[in-house]
Amino acid sequence: MSRVLRIDGVEVHHLDADGPVTAVLAFGVGVADEQVSTLGISHVIEQLALDGAEGLESDVAGETRMSYTSMSVQGTPERVVSRLAAICERIADISAGGVHAGELRRTCRILQTEGGTAMGDSAHLAEHLNVRLGAQGWGLGAVTAQFLAKVTPQEVAEWAADRFTADNAVLALHGPMPEGLRLPLPRGPRCTPAGLDFLAQTYPAEYLSGGEEPSLSFVIEAPDATSIAAVVLLSSALRARAYRILRQEWGVVYGLEVEVVEAGGVAVLAVIVRCAEKEAADSMKGVL
């Protein structure tokens, strides 16, 4: 049985089931909401929130992506209640200015050592978004957090107070409902997700990629849920058709991927072709 309720202002989606409890606390804030000067600040808060809860083990994890930041806990109901309360209390403390400069510098060094981007393995899609949008919003997925060391404790506190709030969070629970669950987050308005604000450019266009694999991207209007579902079906059909033509009929590629991102009623679909350099032109023609 599933149900939706509110606990301490947080929207909670609970699916009752046997076994351990899995809880995912997600906030509607990610890299696409940030600026170049503070890029990585949501990841910093995620790390501080998890490090600040004492006794954390492998049953707790977090991730910061383009459109959300999440923290997950798994275990017995009692353990999940304890962990979630500690994480929320730490976020409230961060919002109130409870992070000192030394702690912030240490956390930033850890994240810079980790490297990586919020787009994960979707480097080609991130690059296309950066070319289409510039170093803003969803275009930040291809940008490194080079100014992270300059982020101040005050900026961290203000970002947490504005974005990591009960009203901007959703908790998903799977398993028996834990008794005594508390989510003592600061209150604040739900934030509007970042859209896809394209630069004024003339299309079709081309650019020299930093990689060896040619790729194409297309912009598709997707104003509602039905349109989004259609884009997903289109991407699947495009991949199957292009792979059949380029691989099975022409024999010019050894791999092909299609990646999609949707935001604000618009989708960007990227096709990545893995082929020898001499076959790049024919591969692109085959996709088109």
Q: In the predicted model, is pLDDT for residue 211 greater than 90?
A: no
CA distances from 130 to 36, 72, 175, 193 (A): 12, 30, 40, 18
Structure tokens at 57: 């083990």
pLDDT score at 27: 99
Could you give the CA distance from residue 204 to residue 202 in angstroms, rounded to a whole number?
6
pLDDT score at 115: 74
Whether 132 contacts 139, CB under 8 Å: yes
Nearest partner of 141 among 130, 133, 151, 150, judged by Cα = 130
pLDDT score at 121: 67
| pLDDT per position as a tens digit, 230-251 | 999 999 999 999 999 999 999 9
Could you give the CA distance from residue 90 to residue 49 in angstroms, rounded to a whole number?
5
Could you give the CA distance from residue 283 to residue 188 in angstroms, rounded to a whole number?
50
| pLDDT per position as a tens digit, 140-162 | 999 989 899 999 999 999 999 99
Could you give the CA distance from residue 274 to residue 220 in angstroms, rounded to a whole number?
24
| pLDDT per position as a tens digit, 115-141 | 766 776 688 899 999 999 999 999 999
CA 88 from centroid of its chain's CA atoms: 20
- Residue 105 pLDDT level (bands cut at 50, 70, 90): very high
User: Other C-beta atoms within 10 Å of 237: how many?
Assistant: 11
Q: In the predicted model, is pLDDT for residue 58 greater than 80?
A: no
Q: In the predicted model, is pLDDT for residue 95 greater than 90?
A: yes
pLDDT score at 119: 74
**Helix extents (H) in 40-152:** 41-52, 77-95, 101-114, 123-133
- Give percent of the chain with pLDDT exceeding 70: 95
pTM, rounded to two decimals: 0.90
Q: In the predicted model, is pLDDT for residue 57 greater than 70?
A: no
Q: In the predicted model, is pLDDT for residue 20 greater than 80?
A: yes
- The partner residues of 63 in beta bridges, in order of sequence, read 70
pLDDT score at 32: 96
With H, G, I as helix, E, B as strand and everything else as coil, classify residue 70: strand
pLDDT score at 239: 92
pLDDT score at 1: 84
Domains and CATH numbers, the chain: 2-174 (3.30.830.10), 215-287 (3.30.70)
pLDDT score at 52: 60
pLDDT score at 212: 73
